Structure 1
Amino acid sequence: MQIRSVAASDLEAVHKLLSANGWAHRIADIEYLGRLISASHTSVIAVADDEVVGFARAISDGLSNGYLSMVVVAEPFRRRGIGQALVQHIVGSETGITWVLRAGRPGAAEFFAKLGFRTSPVAMERSPAQPLAG
């Protein structure tokens, strides 16, 4: 298995992986996915036997704050260390950054806790469809 940066030629395979694993609502089409990846600090894939089997991306200022997003591994390849390798590839070299994420999917909180993430009492979020309260 290889972890590497996403290339333009990978977009179709990444779109297929994300769509098949519960992310279709966040990636309307390949063009949107390409813009999402381009706007990210880091986007990586896991490749096994020439197949994209994992994807992760991060948004960060590169100095103090980072958001880990869309850590996805194809179902048949789970529990093989691929998700951990994706996360380590992104956060491992960024030692001065506080990383945050949303762990709302089943098993996500337990997975990220094993990697050293802890539940925070200070996190808040605002959904994009909500108007600002004034």
Structure 2
Amino acid sequence: MQIREFTASDLEAVYRLLAANGWSHRIPDEAYLAKLIAASQHAWVAVLDGEIAGFARALTDGLSNGYLSMVVVAAPFRGRGIGRALVEHIVGAEDNVTWVLRAGREGAPAFFAKLGFVHSTLAMERPRRAAY
């Protein structure tokens, strides 16, 4: 497995990965995905057997706070450490940063707990009001 930075040539494959794994309601098309990635400090892909098997993106000031926005692994590749490798690649580089995320998908709380994330009672959110 190779973890590498997202490149523009990955856009179509990453969009297909997201659409096939429950993100189509949030990512309407490749152009929107490109805008999200351009606004992120971290965007990484996991490549396995020449195929993009996972994707993660995050936003951070690199000093104090970070938000892990997406961690997606294609269903056939789950359970092989791909999600862990993507998360560790992003958050492991910045030990001084407090990372937050939304863990509402099935299995997400248990997965992220294994990576050192803990339930927080300090966070608040203002939900989005528009679809995109």
Q: TM-score range by the shorter chain?
A: over 0.9
The answer to whether residue 126 in structure 2 is matched with residue 126 in structure 1 is: yes
Deviations 1:25-75 (A, max 9, x none): 111111110110010010000001111100000011111000001100000
Alignment RMSD (CA, Å): 0.9
Q: Post-superposition shift, 1:128?
A: 1.5
The answer to whether residue 50 in structure 2 is matched with residue 50 in structure 1 is: yes
State how far apart, in whole Å, the 2-side matches of 1:108 and 1:79 are: 13
Listed as ranges, the matches of 1:101-116 within 5 Å are 101-116=101-116
State how far apart, in whole Å, the 2-side matches of 1:84 and 1:38 are: 23
State how far apart, in whole Å, the 2-side matches of 1:74 and 1:32 are: 20
State how far apart, in whole Å, the 1-side matches of 2:7 and 2:34 are: 10
Paired residues, number: 130
Match of 1:3 in 2: 3
Identical counterparts, % of pairs: 67
State how far apart, in whole Å, the 1-side matches of 2:41 and 2:118 are: 22
Deviations 1:69-114 (A, max 9, x none): 1100000100110000000000001011000000000000000000
The answer to whether residue 93 in structure 2 is matched with residue 96 in structure 1 is: no
State how far apart, in whole Å, the 1-side matches of 2:106 and 2:91 are: 22
Listed as ranges, the matches of 1:31-50 within 5 Å are 31-50=31-50
Q: Post-superposition shift, 1:21?
A: 0.2
Note the residue ranges of structure 2 that are not aligned, 5 or more in a row.
none
Secondary structure class of the residue paired with 1:46? strand
Letter in 1 for 2:123: A
TM-score normalised by length of structure 2: 0.96
Note the residue ranges of structure 1 that are not aligned, 5 or more in a row.
none
Q: Post-superposition shift, 1:123?
A: 0.9
State how far apart, in whole Å, the 1-side matches of 2:26 and 2:9 are: 20
Secondary structure class of the residue paired with 2:25? helix
Secondary structure class of the residue paired with 1:26? coil
Secondary structure class of the residue paired with 2:53? strand
Match of 1:78 in 2: 78
Match of 1:14 in 2: 14
Secondary structure class of the residue paired with 1:24? coil
